[in-house]
Structure formats: structure tokens, C-alpha cells
């Protein structure tokens, strides 16, 4: 995990890949829970038997489930000393570039694209998040994520 001591250290990292997370495994239980939470019960996600004869040969995770892992990836990849709070500020661009079959292992590469001070005592960061699937040629998801941090030293 990368630990920044100040917002100035974060700003100095603009343009760099800051972290590569550990792998996490996507389970059918996660997919089913996501379907329950969102109401998206499409068979390609929640019916493993039917999905085996579908276009991907297995059930796949919802694209938005993959996207929703970004806070988990951030949490495990970097910290800012003294920050009281971090918030998701939104997304600029998201693409789901390949499917995520249940049982896949995912990790994220985090590249800091921009960092701008917010008054008082805050920082807005723009992250390029590339979610990789182990063994796949293409990433599962590429997103530009905006995050804000409050309370650390400048």
C-alpha cells in the first residue's frame, strides 16, 4: 500500500501509476447479492446453468459490480495520512471492455491523472482505474474516477 504523508506528495505523483492492487475473486454469491441490491436479475448473471450455454460459456459479473469495486481497490491501494474522509465524486468515463466470468480474479492498476487542491483542506483526484482480469488480454473495465479527500496536511 502506498501511503502519502501530505497532499503535496499526492500532487507530485500526477502522471504516475501509484499502485497495483492484490487480486480478488468474483463469486456467484457476490453476483447474486449485487442482483438483489440492484434488481438486475438478468439470466447471464444469476442463472449459472443457462449461462453455460450463453455467449460467454459461464455466468458473468454485472459491469456495474465490477465498477463498484473501485472503492475497495482504493482502500487497499493507498492512504493519505491525516485524511478524515474520502468521498466518491463521480466518474468521467467508463468502459466495460471484456466480460468477467464468475470465478475470475480481478485487480486494479491506479494511475493518478490529476490532483487539485480544494478549499479548505481538501484535494480532488482524477484516477485512471484499469481493472484487469487474470489471464485476459483486455481489461475488464477502464474508468476515470473522481475522488475527494478532506482533512490532511497540504
Distance in angstroms (rounded) separating the CA atoms of residues 60 and 84: 36
Of how many residues is the chain composed? 154
pTM of the prediction?
0.94
Distance in angstroms (rounded) separating the CA atoms of residues 58 and 104: 11
CB-based burial, 126-138: b 16+ in 10 Å, e otherwise: bbbbbbbbeebee
> What is the grid cell recorded at 30?
457476490
Average confidence (pLDDT) over 88-98: 97
Per-residue model confidence (pLDDT) at position 47: 98
pLDDT digits (tens, 9 = 90+) for 120-153: 889 999 999 999 999 999 999 999 999 999 988 7
* CB contact at 8 A, 34 and 68: yes
Domains of the chain: 2-150 (3.10.129.10)
CA distance to 60, 84, 100, 141, per residue, from 64 (Å): 11, 27, 11, 10
Distance in angstroms (rounded) separating the CA atoms of residues 54 and 71: 31
pLDDT digits (tens, 9 = 90+) for 50-75: 999 999 999 999 999 999 999 999 99
Amino acid at each position: 500500500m502506498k501511503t502519502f504523508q501530505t497532499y503535496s506528495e499526492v500532487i507530485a505523483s500526477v502522471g504516475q501509476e501509484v499502485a497495483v492492487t492484490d487480486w480478488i475473486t468474483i463469486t456467484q454469491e457476490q453476483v447474486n447479492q449485487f442482483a438483489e441490491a440492484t434488481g438486475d436479475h438478468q439470466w447471464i448473471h444469476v442463472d449459472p446453468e443457462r449461462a453455460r450455454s450463453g455467449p460467454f460459456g459461464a455466468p458473468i459479473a454485472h459491469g456495474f459490480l465490477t465498477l463498484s469495486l473501485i472503492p475497495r481497490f482504493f482502500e487497499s491501494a493507498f492512504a493519505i495520512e491525516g485524511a478524515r474522509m474520502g468521498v466518491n465524486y463521480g466518474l468521467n468515463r467508463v468502459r466495460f471492455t471484456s466480460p468477467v466470468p464468475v470465478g475470475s480474479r480481478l485487480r486494479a492498476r491506479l494511475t493518478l491523472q490529476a490532483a487539485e487542491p480544494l478549499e479548505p483542506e481538501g484535494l480532488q483526484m482524477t484516477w485512471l482505474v484499469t481493472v484487469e482480469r487474470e489471464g485476459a488480454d483486455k481489461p475488464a473495465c477502464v474508468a476515470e474516477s473522481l475522488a475527494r479527500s478532506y482533512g490532511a496536511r497540504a
